[in-house]
Amino acid sequence: MHRLFIAALRAGICVALSAGLFGQLVVLPATAADEVDRFPPYAPFAVPYTAVAILGVLCAQVALVATWALLTMVERDAIFTSRAFRWVDVIIGSALVATVLAAGAAAHLAVAEIPSPGDGMDVLGALFAATGCAGVGAAFTMLVVVMKGLLRKATELRTEMAGVV
């Protein structure tokens, strides 16, 4: 893979990690506080939902760090080794945890009596967003599992070819 392409990917990972950290420390807590100020009955839900959102962003950050490690392995032409599977497992695990968090939030939003200003569309929108995140997370997790199988097959073929040559 071209070094410039890897450098661009790493720059994107740095930007995404920084944006995630800013979101975790500033945006999510401030947004929750603003919502509670705007509609005080949200107060009991602000901390748990903010914590779930912060953990979801953390899961994405963990996956980005694992992707960085995989890029390093690609750069060193060491991607077809057993060490790569550990990093792929980290990505799968973090995606699975984020999916479970989103599914849990969706389930809670579906059954809880959460007050809503006006017509209740705020809670309905949050339910659809959480359900969508859970669906995308499940699809992403399954995709990475399939890609891990392809990596395993490619690693086996490379090892076999090295033995023949």
Write out pLDDT tens, residues 27-82.
999 999 999 999 899 899 999 999 999 999 999 999 999 999 999 999 998 999 88
Give the separation between CA 103 and CA 120, rounded to whole angstroms. 20
Report residue 142 CA to chain centroid gap: 13
What residue has token string 């973090």?
94
Nearest to 123 by CA among 140, 106, 136, 143: 106
Q: How confident is the model at residue 114 (pLDDT cuts 50, 70, 90)?
A: confident
Name the phi and psi angles at 113, rounded to 5.
Answer: -95, 85
Q: For 103-132, what is the HEC assignment?
A: HHHHHHHHHCCCCCCCCCHHHHHHHHHHHH
For 125, the token pair is 């929108």
Question: Per-residue pLDDT for 131 more than 90?
Answer: yes
Burial zone of 49 (CB within 10 Å; 0-12 exposed, 13-18 middle, 19+ buried): buried
pTM of the model: 0.90
CB 59 within 8 A of CB 93: no
Token look-up 């659809």 returns 128
Banded model confidence at residue 159, pLDDT cuts 50, 70, 90:
confident
Lowest mean pLDDT among 40-44, 87-91, 131-135: 40-44
Any alpha helices (H) in 23-165, and if so which ranges? 28-38, 43-75, 82-111, 121-164
